[in-house]
Amino acid sequence: IDPFVLDDDGDLYLYWGSAEEPIWVQPMAPDGLSLAGERKEVLAPSDAPYEGLIEGPWVVKRDGLYHLMYSGDACCGSGAHYAVLDARGPSPLGPFERNPANPVLAANDRFNAPGHHALITDDAGTDWVLYHAMDREEGSGLRFLLLDRLDWVDCWPVVNGGSGPSTTFPTRPDVRPPG
């Protein structure tokens, strides 16, 4: 798991979580090679939809708030549906409150999950969430990257103009591996 630089001081924090466990944070030494403090719970476990498994927690700062973005699944196996989830708090050490409109983004038939540092701001100031996916329709397990535009409503991210499952998959730009 990668450390994260979260503020102008260049502080490093490590976030992690798993099924039925909290999401934790622990400060790291400035060299990023060792842990430098005690771990702290920043988001309690939840039985909400799409939170059966926690993967890839990462944090971005916007408008004075820290947003903890992570992924969860509703089930296991070939029918797994993943969602990009969001919680926010005033400090990188939490506690974080969950987005009341969970999930921010959800797949219907494609595995998807955010990558580390996956919030991208373009030259026009528009935010995008980058995540990877597996195309189940082709049956080959082809993996590719997708971008979804993020709008912000009351300091919560909203994907493609609405909360919940995105309905504009065919129009999203995708980046597929060569060949």
- Of 165, 124, 134, the closest CA to residue 148 belongs to 165
Q: What is the mean pLDDT of residues 116-137?
A: 73
Rounded to whole angstroms, what are the CA distances from 21 to 44, 56, 99, 166, 178?
7, 14, 18, 27, 38
Q: Tell me the per-residue pLDDT of 16-54, one tens digit each, with 9 for 90 and over.
A: 888 788 999 999 998 888 999 899 999 998 887 777 777
CA distance 174 to 89: 31
CA distance 18 to 55: 7
**Is the pLDDT higher at 168 or at 132?**
132
Which pLDDT band holds residue 164 (cuts at 50, 70, 90)? very low
- Of 141, 159, 61, 57, the closest CA to residue 101 belongs to 159
pLDDT exceeds cutoff 70 at 179: no
- Neighbour tally for 175: CB within 10 Å: 10
**Is the pLDDT higher at 106 or at 83?**
83
- What pLDDT is attached to residue 88? 94
What single string gives the DSSP state of each residue in 125-141? S-EEEEEEEE-SSSSS-
Rounded to whole angstroms, what are the CA distances from 41 to 14, 17, 44, 93?
12, 10, 7, 8
